[in-house]
Structures are given as C-alpha cells and as structure tokens.
Amino acid sequence: MTPALELRGIDKSFGPVQVLHDVAFSAYAGEVTALVGDNGAGKSTLVKCVGGIHPIDSGEYFFDGRPVRIGSPRDAAELGIEIVYQDLALCDNLDIVQNMFLGREHRRGIVLDEDTMEAMAAKTLESLSVRTVKSIRQLVASLSGGQRQTVAIAKAVLWNSKVVILDEPTAALGVAQTAQVLELVRRLADQGLAVVLISHNMNDVFAVSDRIATLYLGRMAAQVKTSDVTHAQVVELITSGRSGDLGLTNGATV
Amino acid sequence: MTATISPKRVSEAPSIRSNVRGYAERVRGGDMGALPAVFGLVVLCTIFAILRPSFLTAGNFANLFTQGAAVTVIAMGLVFVLLLGEIDLSAGFASGVCAAVLAILLSSQGLPWYVAVGAAILTGVVIGTGIGSIVAKLGIPSFVVTLAAFLAFQGLVLLLVKGGTIIAIRDETILAIANKNLPPALGWILLAVGVAGYAGLQLLRARKRAARELTADPVSLIAVRVGALALLGGLAVYFLNIERSRNAAVVSLAGVPLVVPIIVVLLLVLTFVLRRTAYGRHLYAVGGNVEAARRAGINVDRMKISAFVICSSMAAIGGVIAASRASSVDPNTGGSNVLLYAVGAAVIGGTSLFGGKGRVLDAILGGAVVAVIENGMGLMGYSSGVKFIVTGSVLLLAAVVDALSRKRAAATGLR
C-alpha cells in the first residue's frame, strides 16, 4: 500500500541546532498513526515541516506516492493536509459555522452564502456523528473543551482533506471528553483519511492507533504496528530510543 | 458540556418565546449588547422631559439629529477600528483636516461641491492608510500612533485655516446637508420603502432557509420586528414632519432632517459590509483571535490598514457634516470634545474596547445618548463644564459595563 504521506531523510536545522536528523515517516489512508516522543524530540517541528510552516533543509516528501514540494501552509492545504494545533485557533466571538469556514467562506458575488455554509457544516458534523452541540449557530465561546476540539477537527475535515494531523487533541480534556474525541479520531480514519495523532498519553495511543512512530532526539527511533509492541516497549523507545532489537543503534535507524 | 450523548441536534422550532429566552440568556451571560444604551436613552429622555418640557418639542427633536450627526458618523467609523481592539484618537482632528480641505476647495478654489467632498473623503483615505500602515507594519500601538496624529492634525488644521481665521461655507448643497429637511411626503415614502424592503428581505430569507431545511425565523417574529421598525420610524417621521418654524408663513421648517437618510444609508452599507461580506467576517475574526485569523490565511496587516481607512473616511464624512452645520470651518472643527464624544458613542452603544464585538447600529444608539445628554443639559442651562463631567462619567460607566460584562461572560463560560 502506498502511504498517503511519506517523508524520507528529512533534515531540519534552526541555525546551529539540528532538530531533525534523517527522519523517515509515513501515514496511511484509513489508519491512525501515532507520533510519540519525549518533549523536545522534534514532534512539533516534524509536523510543522509537513504542514509547510518550516521548509525542510533536505529530504523527500511524497504525497500519494508523488514527490511534492511544500513551500507554504497553502501548498499543504491544497494537497489536502490539515493540521489541528493544540491551541485550536478558534475565534470565540464567532459561531461554529463561521469558525469552520473562516478564511474560506462560500460566497455568492460579494455576499456570504450563509445557508450553504450552514448546511455543509451541519452535514460534516453529522457525518462525524457529532451530537453534542445544541446549535451550530452558537458562539464558540460557549463551548466546552471537548466541543471546541470537535469543531476544530470538523473544520479540518470539511475540505475533503486526505491527511489530518492532530496535535495533542486530548491534552486538556476530561475523561469523558477524551473518550469522545478519540472516538472521533477513529471515525476519521474509518472514513478513509490518514490521521496522524500526536500524543503523550500511552492509553490514548494504544486505544486508537494502528501504527506508532517514535521520535527520539530528532531521530525516528522506530515506526511499528501498534499490535506488534507493548506499552512498555513504546515507553522504552521514547525514553532511550531503543527497546530490544527495535530502535536506534549508535544513532542510526535499524 | 454534558458529556452524555444528547439527542441529535436539539433543534426546537424557533418561536418568539424561544428568541426572547435566548436573548434573556445572553444578557444574563454578560452579553448586554445595546441594552445599556437603550436603557440609558429611555432614562435620560424621561428625566429631561420631566424637568424641561421644551425637550419634547418637535423643534428640539429635529435638533437632536443635526446636533449628534457628525459625532455619530465618526463613531460609526470608529467601530471598525475598535472591532480590531485598536483605537483611533486622531479621528476628531482627522475630520477637522478633511473639513478644512473641503472648505478651502469650496471657498478659495471655487470648485463644485462634489469635487470638494470627494477630496475631503480622499484626504480621509490617505490619513487612514498612513496611520493603518504605521500601526500594522511597524507594530506601534495604535494608541500612541493616533495620539501623535491627534496633535499633528490639530496643527495641520491650524495651518490649513491660516492661523485661526474662519472659512465660511456658502455652497448651497453642502449647507443643505445639516440644515435642510426632506419634504414631509418624501419622508413618509422613504419610510414606507424602507419598511417594505426590510419585511421583504426578512421573509425572503426565512423562506429560502426553510426550503433548505435550516432553522428559519417564524413569520410571527418577523412581523414583530417589522412592526417595531414601522412604529418607531412612523413616530419619528410624524414628529419630524410637524411644523417647527416659529413663523410658518415666512419660512416653513418641517420634515426629516437630511442627515437622517444620510446616516441610515451609511448604516445600511456598513452593516452590510460587517455582516454579509467575507471582509466583515474577517474583521470580527481578527478582533476575536489574531492568531486564528492569521492561520486561516487572513492578511491581518491589510485588515488593520483597511479598518483605519474606513474610520478616517467616515471621519471625513463627519467633518463635512460638521462644516455644514457650522456653515464654516475653524481651527476647532473636529476638536475639543468631538473625538471623546465619538469614542463614547461607540462604547456606550456596546462596542467592546477589547475588540471582536460591536455593531454599527451601536454607534448610532450611543451617539443618540451623547446627543441627548449634550442637548438636555444645554436646555437645563448647565455650563459646558458640567456637560463634560457628565459625559465623561457616562463614558466611564459604559467602559465599566463593557469590562464587567466581559468578566461575567468569562465566569459563565460565554466568552
């Protein structure tokens, strides 16, 4: 199977500091790929490289098997790559529909086409089986953390995206809301999207992911099937970069 | 949120009752909107009407509109800047500069009125572009930039009118703006057209939404809104059409002042821009969360510059109205209290100083409050010292309401 998204040999430095060393990463359609690693391992940098916020120094970037060049967030969005950042980036003073279409409003002439947007937003939320918001015309300010996360995710999938990257979507949520968001993450993959889930929480990772990619000090320690590893092995990969015959040997990927 | 699964998108059919309930909920949650302004207006009018019966005469009612027009128009422009969480302290003297340009072109150059007005508005556009660019590109707080511009423009007006002389305006068209009235019949016709148009738009919209199975406003609610508009508009036109000349045989003085339709048109255009265009949506977004707006691909710098351009252009129009009312331009045009009244009008009307919240209509309601205070206290014979203090207190009160409602909204999770 061709990965929806594949990176090979990515290097990225900020001035004298090399943050990513020869990183390989792939995400497959219909699967949830968990991206894990300790603080400072390079997860965010990798995601920002994927999203076109940071240009990569060297390495190859494939989308659906085709080599592509991503120079800006716009390029990534055009391919169908959407990133949901941790700080959601929603406007409190706008309602759900307005937030979902922010910057990409439908219009007829110069007039906003509110009805089409509202209908599309309702359809998207319904397709994600979101049933917890009372009205899609309520202000985002009045939503709970889980609902906000839901809106942010729905915003990302509204555009026929192929790859959705979620940066710690459950970090600030309670137990019940976490379960809801994870359910939503699973549903996205079941609908055929390639989902990348960044998380610190091993329970979340094992609950929804099909594959786990572990970054260790800017290197890809291992990318494995979730069913092939144990909880303890992943923790070991995160903390020391290797576990048994998995992981790095002398700084190079096995 | 209750994390339990609630029934699928609870969409009760909207009715008058559910709308009233929704409004009451919003007010309790700290989203007061225009409520304080409307409340203040009613209280002030009642007090003045009791203390000074002359406050209620048709002549004074018409006076209120022409008195408050310039400040209100400037406030309408300020709403755009305030929406971004910025402020324009130079709007008052910007209107003075534009009025001076108008007066010079009319009197010493003898150009036709439309050229002069065009030049005045163009001056506003240039001023707005300059201030907006400095704020957006250099990142200097708008407070400081516009404070500097405030001083500079005060000087500029002085230079333009040659050290304190007064430039008289004799152009009939310009003078008509703040001094002439619509023929009484035309007032009724315009009102009828306006109400019918509003009703038609509302019904059309409701029908379109119903056809797409979206929640639409019920006809009863639309009827209430249209009825209220017709009633208020009808009363206003009726009172303004009463003969208010002391000697009607010599010169008749009746009808809706010309500034009223001008302000209504500006209100409609600006409200359309804010509510129905992507530009307006982006303006609210930048005021609500700059980072979110930037990530959504909105050019934040351009939004800022454009808001200042709109603000200064509206100030220019305000300046033209002020020049028309005074029949002249002097170094104090747009000076003294004009700016503070304008900011006060916007804030009293419910536009937040913190950005992201406000409507153009708010500025008009706030402008009405300011005009009523100014007018009523004048009738009571208070000195301008007392007027300043009262207006200042009202502005502070409005800012307090704004800050408190924000706090309350944060507490109830509505913001």
At residue A82, what is the residue type?
E
> Is A149 part of the contact surface with chain B (CB cutoff 8 Å)?
no
Would you call B1 and A102 a contact, using CB atoms and an 8 Å cutoff?
Answer: no
> Is A17 part of the contact surface with chain B (CB cutoff 8 Å)?
no
Would you call A103 and B293 a contact, using CB atoms and an 8 Å cutoff?
Answer: yes
At residue B389, what is the residue type?
I
Instruction: Read off the tokens for B198.
Output: 């509003």
**Residue bearing the bigger pLDDT, B374 or B30:** B374
Would you call B288 and A94 a contact, using CB atoms and an 8 Å cutoff?
Answer: yes
Separation of alpha carbons A90 and A94, rounded Å: 8
Average pLDDT, chain B: 86
> Is B42 part of the contact surface with chain A (CB cutoff 8 Å)?
no
Give me the residues of A, 220-249, that contact B with CB < 8 A.
none
User: A147 contacts in B (CB within 8 Å)?
Assistant: 1
> Is B201 part of the contact surface with chain A (CB cutoff 8 Å)?
no
Give me the residue from A103, A119, A142 closest to B214, CB to CB: A119
* Whether residue B283 has pLDDT greater than 90: yes
Question: Tell me, what's the pLDDT at B413?
Answer: 52
Q: What is the pLDDT of residues B59-113, one digit of tens each?
A: 888 888 988 999 999 999 999 999 999 999 999 999 999 999 999 999 888 888 9
What pLDDT band is residue B116 in, cutting at 50, 70 and 90?
very high
Separation of alpha carbons B124 and B321, rounded Å: 14
> Is B289 part of the contact surface with chain A (CB cutoff 8 Å)?
yes
Q: What is the ipTM of this complex?
A: 0.82
Give me the residue from A112, A143, A147 closest to B276, CB to CB: A112
Query: Beta-strand (E) ranges in A74-155?
Result: 81-84, 107-108, 111-112
Min Cα distance B119 → chain A (Å) is 27
> Is A115 part of the contact surface with chain B (CB cutoff 8 Å)?
yes
What pLDDT band is residue B197 in, cutting at 50, 70 and 90?
very high
Question: Tell me, what's the pLDDT at B412?
Answer: 61
Would you call B209 and A90 a contact, using CB atoms and an 8 Å cutoff?
Answer: no
Question: Tell me, what's the pLDDT at B6?
Answer: 38
Give me the residues of B, 317-376, that contact A with CB < 8 A.
356-357
Question: Tell me, what's the pLDDT at B13?
Answer: 58
Query: Which residue ranges form the domains of chain A, and what is each CATH number?
Result: 5-94+160-253 (3.40.50.300)
Would you call B7 and A131 a contact, using CB atoms and an 8 Å cutoff?
Answer: yes
Question: Tell me, what's the pLDDT at B14?
Answer: 63
Q: Count CB atoms within 10 A of the CB of residue B247.
A: 8
Min Cα distance A252 → chain B (Å) is 36
Separation of alpha carbons B193 and B195, rounded Å: 6
C-alpha neighbours within 13 Å on the C-beta side of residue A199: 29
Q: What is the pLDDT of residues B304-340, one digit of tens each?
A: 999 999 999 999 999 999 999 998 888 888 787 888 8
CATH of B34-180+257-405, one of 1.10.287, 4.10.240, 1.10.3470, 1.10.10: 1.10.3470
User: B353 contacts in A (CB within 8 Å)?
Assistant: none
Q: Count CB atoms within 10 A of the CB of residue A58.
A: 10
Give me the residue from A104, A111, A176 closest to B276, CB to CB: A111
> Is B11 part of the contact surface with chain A (CB cutoff 8 Å)?
yes
Would you call A112 and B5 a contact, using CB atoms and an 8 Å cutoff?
Answer: no
Tens place of pLDDT per residue across chain A (254 aa): 788 999 999 999 998 999 999 999 999 999 999 999 988 888 888 998 998 888 889 999 999 889 998 888 888 888 889 888 877 678 989 999 999 998 888 888 888 988 889 988 988 888 777 777 778 888 888 888 888 888 888 888 887 788 999 988 888 788 888 888 898 899 889 988 999 999 888 889 999 999 999 999 888 888 889 999 888 889 988 888 888 778 776 544 44
Question: Tell me, what's the pLDDT at B84?
Answer: 95
Instruction: Read off the tokens for A156.
Output: 């990302």
**Angle in degrees, CA B280, B284, B290, rounded to 5:** 125
User: A156 contacts in B (CB within 8 Å)?
Assistant: none
> Is B172 part of the contact surface with chain A (CB cutoff 8 Å)?
no
